[in-house]
Chain A
């Protein structure tokens, strides 16, 4: 595994961590603060800090450190989680999110100065601060002279170090290395520690054991197998800085009785009190005095090692005369790997490969239908096999599409923050309700839905919701409600953004549209038509641009973005009660079920998602409104009839007769309409090929596909067809 890949894992982990932390923070905000919530925020931040350091993201690391310090104090109960502190934590969280975006290269590193200062001030208040560990200045000696130690070790203790150092041209006597004394305590061998390993490491760097003190060694009767009795005096050359020594003994320095001295300034090793740390029985003490006071050695590391090993005891219970083997039936909590099995295992796949799979499955669908057509044309009876093939192809396609599907949570999870920011900017109070986060959409849709959705949320809060005083005056709760919901309905995903604000002021919208010359002043528009004017290009203007939803782009951009994804936007609004935007998006951008129809000699596809039913008009059901406009009475409701042949300009005007086939389709904005075609040919899956990328966009046509016989057929965009037929004005605008 390469470093970059690990870094990718880290970035994913950051997202997960932020997600967890945000949920926990919001739970706290809602009054559900418990120890686990705080702990999970702490862990998330802590984990990000760890990775940030490992990958060299210094600003992120330093920010998370400050954040973590405060979180830790809250977790440990040193600081009460007051609403003010919670607000600070949420703001810090937002900055943290920005930091993470910055390391992903998605944004500039945020200016975290003010919030950092705030966090530090909180951490330092109350004397509950976490002291920075005192780090000694690294003393790095530029003139390594390992031979100092060699020479020193080969002489006896009476050597004049000053002379020796002078001979070696050491610039400063103080820089000439160190002498360390080790007098391990009885605990030095606990927990699998072994000072010998540390001495070996030092020796590996050129240190020489000068003296081994065996004075504390008891006689055999009093010998604790796990006790440590030997003291060492070690010369460490100047090439080994003091920090390295401290690092080596970092965790066990105390247990090893470590003391570090400048070369030449060390106390006499024998000046130490004998057996300073060894609780030995009195009689043992007497016995121990029989041992020679000091053993002088000028031993290389190996000798010391063997000496050390000879006293490394077999493993028995320390301090108990008759070690009883304690059967330890896993004294800790019972582990249960199943319960805590963690997330479902996943595999990361290159997106290109995934796309290739989806493309190939698309081609397979085409080939399968070609094959079916060829076989039936040749009179081969292979229906069972063909239907099996079709079934398998469809399964394969579903699997491939599922690979590209992602829950919309990743998009929705950005919304709470946007809401918080807007609350701060507008002074409004907002309760956000989010539903259907688990709804899955195609990855491409997920990637491109974020901007439009953000825009709608901003719009809802900035324009939709009233100011607090206006809400109260209108008899509403001070807190506005914004609801964001996603659900799958048939072959579509519906996403709605609703608010309980003032609703669209239709008189103002109409007036504005007239001012902008979007509609004629004498136009008579329905409420729906007026509402839809806010999507018209050029409706949004500088006059209404605020910091928030303005930004110079209007809702027309939202509409374009959604249409670019093969989706629809619709709006419904009730004065005084609120506004709701609905986005309808296709489940997949690649394959759709289609009804193949013929019309004026052309073969066309109607997306099956839109098709409600097909019918032939019975006598009397067709009504003529004008020479070109008909409606049909379908079980009591009148639907407009749209002849495909003329609306797409395939042929000359054709009279709508009772022999025509009418296909009733459901549209998002205009309800049901009946599309008139010559005949229905078939119903099958089609692979959608974009017209925009391969040719150019055509109003009324959503895309193209390749039929089983290799011909190209156009896919009708039912929505655009309905809208063109419904309001010629809009068609004019588009033209």
Chain B
């Protein structure tokens, strides 16, 4: 898998910085957004290879973002990973129903993050 373009969405600056640090270190190009709405706006103008999104965010949460993206043809099959501190089955089911491709538990280990990215990108 070569370098890809990833949009990370998280309202926490440190989490965005950690993600960027890890993903750029793995050779990817990383953009970030502070919440679902800002992400959606960016995604209307750019198409990344992968979106990694937090769930709990102001303005538009991760579920809202995923649902909005899956309604768009060009994002119907794009991998979207959910990054969450939660790991309850209930939340995962909710994420799957919304259209998430995978799940990463925060805090993440950079190797596990890399593995999660590999699992959804060709």
Contact = CB atoms under 8 A, between A and B. Distances in A.
Interface string A44-63: 00110111011100000100
Interface centre among A12, A197, A331, A332 (most CB of B within 10 A): A332
A201 B58 contact: no
A627 interface: no
Interface string B94-122: 01100111110011100010010011111
A13 B12 CA distance: 7
Given A6-B17, A43-B56, A192 B40 contact: no
Contact of A197 (B20, B54, B100, B118): B118
Interface centre among A201, A250, A255 (most CB of B within 10 A): A250
B64 interface: yes
Contacts of A133: 87-89
A133 B118 CA distance: 25
A50 B106 contact: yes
Contacts of A3: 21
A248 interface: yes
Interface string A189-220: 01111100110010000000000000000000
A8 to B, nearest CB: 9
B15 A331 contact: no
Interface stretch (A336-344, A469-477, A575-583, A677-685): A336-344
B41 A336 contact: yes
A504 B92 CA distance: 63
B96 A51 contact: no
Contact of A6 (B14, B68, B72): B14
B58 A43 contact: yes
Contacts of A46: 56, 85
Contact of B37 (A53, A193, A201, A336): A336
A12 B15 CA distance: 12
A328 B72 contact: yes
Contacts of A10: 12, 14
Contact of B18 (A43, A54, A335): A54
Interface residues of A, number: 54
Given A191-B101, A328-B72, A331-B68, A130 B88 contact: yes
A282 interface: no
A227 to B, nearest CB: 14
Given A1-B21, A43-B58, A192-B77, A335 B115 contact: no
Interface size class of B (residues with CB under 8 A): 35 or more
Contact of A50 (B68, B71, B85, B115): B85
Interface in B25-67: 34-35, 37-42, 44, 54, 56-60, 64-65, 67
Nearest to B35: A340
A342 B34 contact: yes
A252 interface: yes
Given A53-B106, A331-B68, A43 B57 contact: yes
A330 B102 contact: no
Nearest to A200: B118
A171 interface: no
Contacts, number: 153
Nearest to B99: A191
A53 B38 CA distance: 26
B7 interface: no
A47 B11 contact: yes
Nearest to B81: A251
Interface centre among B13, B40, B67 (most CB of A within 10 A): B13
A201 to B, nearest CB: 6
Nearest to B40: A335
B80 interface: yes
Contact of B120 (A55, A197, A330): A197
A131 interface: yes
B15 A51 contact: yes
A512 to B, nearest CB: 52
Contacts of B17: 1, 5-6, 9
A132 B20 CA distance: 30
A191 B35 contact: no
A336 B118 CA distance: 32
Contacts of B60: 332-333, 335
Given A7-B14, A50-B12, A51-B12, A194 B122 contact: yes
B14 A332 contact: no
A231 B54 CA distance: 33
A315 interface: yes
A43 B61 CA distance: 11
Given A328-B73, A330-B68, A332-B64, A131 B35 contact: no
A328 B71 contact: yes
Contacts of B68: 330-333
Given A6-B17, A335-B37, A192 B101 contact: yes
A3 B89 CA distance: 32
B101 A193 contact: yes
B88 A6 contact: no
A201 B95 CA distance: 23
Interface in A156-207: 190-194, 197-198, 201
A94 to B, nearest CB: 22
B88 A337 contact: no
A315 B21 CA distance: 33
A341 to B, nearest CB: 8
A82 interface: no
Interface in A357-400: none
A251 B96 contact: yes
Nearest to A133: B87
A325 interface: yes
A115 B20 CA distance: 36
Given A43-B56, A191-B77, A328-B73, A49 B87 contact: no
A511 to B, nearest CB: 57
Interface centre among B34, B37, B99 (most CB of A within 10 A): B37
Given A12-B13, A191-B79, A330-B44, 19 more contacts: A5-B17, A6-B17, A10-B14, A47-B15, A50-B12, A50-B15, A50-B85, A51-B14, A51-B107, A54-B107, A54-B108, A191-B80, A194-B122, A197-B120, A197-B122, A328-B74, A331-B72, A333-B60, A335-B40
The 10 closest A-B pairs by CB, nearest first: A332-B68, A53-B107, A335-B41, A10-B14, A54-B107, A328-B72, A192-B79, A331-B71, A335-B37, A9-B14
23 contacts: A12-B13, A40-B58, A43-B56, A50-B85, A53-B85, A133-B87, A190-B99, A191-B70, A191-B79, A192-B77, A193-B79, A193-B102, A194-B122, A197-B122, A251-B96, A251-B100, A328-B74, A330-B44, A330-B68, A331-B71, A335-B60, A336-B41, A340-B34
Interface of A: 1, 3, 5-7, 9-10, 12-13, 40, 42-43, 46-47, 49-51, 53-55, 61, 65, 68, 130-131, 133, 190-194, 197-198, 201, 247-248, 250-252, 255, 315, 325-328, 330-333, 335-337, 340, 342
Interface of B: 11-15, 17-18, 20-21, 34-35, 37-42, 44, 54, 56-60, 64-65, 67-74, 76-80, 85, 87-89, 92, 95-96, 99-103, 106-108, 112, 115, 118-122
